[in-house]
Amino acid sequence: MEKTILNRICKWFENYAKTFYTDDNEINTNISLKENHTYRVCDITRKATNYMGLDKNKKNTAVAISLLHDIGRFEQFAKFKTFKDPISIDHAELGIEIIEKNKLLEGIDSIQQKIILKSVEYHNKIKIPENIDDDIKKYAMLLRDMDKLDIYNVVIDVYRNHSNSEVAVEKDLDRSEKLNKDILNAFLNQESISYEGIRNINDAKLLRLSWIYDFNYEYSIKYLKESKYLNNILDTMPEFDEIEKIRKTIDDYLNTSKVRMEF
């Protein structure tokens, strides 16, 4: 993607996000949450693509994908006052509609358009389909990594401040010190954890921690280790008997995990 096209999309995003601010503090707080999250994901993406040594066109495409990945969140919250997809709308699918309606990908060849749209479509799914084009997989997995890295940043603030912020999984959860044994066992067995099984805040924390099993790039693991996000989440959890086992599982996985993807 040429820089001029990325700049056009950036300007459009800036103006689009502004249209959702009102005189309602709750709405503004949540619109700001997603706007700032988007900009941070773009920033992490720039750092990752620099680390990987990608050329300018690939960098620009990756940043454009990061910029557009949550574009459906703004209309979602404006209409439904929630970021929970199951009780409102799939924000990735809505995002694709908004991208196409506003013709944001004009001037980009059809192959690149498909890469961008599919990366947005897959970013909030539990798994990416197995049999997809290799280039789509590279960009989609990069976005999933970058998105998760910043969501850690967002939820840690929620956990530390005991906030009931409109974060999709954590909103209105039981704040007791309970822990679902099925969730714990899934984590220790390095299995995916479904949102449907989350019943309390500690279940949600284990779900977030289980994302380590879905990171794909060397930079993501490096970023995780340096950020200390995982330890910060663990520090907000009660001293369960299993807490050290959870810590050891994380440390062992990060220290032995192999790079799954390369551009």
* Spatial distance between the Cα atoms of 87 and 76, rounded to a whole number of angstroms: 11
The parent domain of residue 218 ranges over 172-256
Q: pLDDT tens digit string along 242-263?
A: 889 999 999 999 988 777 778 8
Q: Report the predicted TM-score, pTM, of the whole model to 2 decimal places.
A: 0.90
263 part of a folded domain? no
At residue 174, φ and ψ (nearest 5 deg) are -55, 125
Kindly state the percentage of the chain with pLDDT values over 70.
Answer: 95
Whether the pLDDT of residue 164 is over 60: the answer is: no
Each residue of 104-134: pLDDT tens digit? 999 999 999 999 999 999 999 988 998 999 9
> Which residue would you say has higher pLDDT here, 155 or 77?
77
Number of structural domains, the chain?
A: 2
7 and 69 assigned to the same domain: yes
Same domain for 181 and 140: no
Residue at which a domain ends, from 77, 112, 146? 146
The answer as to whether 165 is a domain residue is no
Asked whether residue 158 is assigned to any structural domain, the reply reads no
Please check whether residues 72 and 183 belong to one and the same domain. Answer: no
Report how far residue 252's alpha carbon sits from residue 237's, in angstroms, rounded to the nearest whole number.
Answer: 20
Lowest mean pLDDT across 68-77, 102-111, 131-140, 171-180: 171-180
Q: What is the CATH number of the domain that holds 122?
A: 1.10.3210.10
The CB-side HSE value for 22 (13 A sphere, CA atoms) comes to: 10
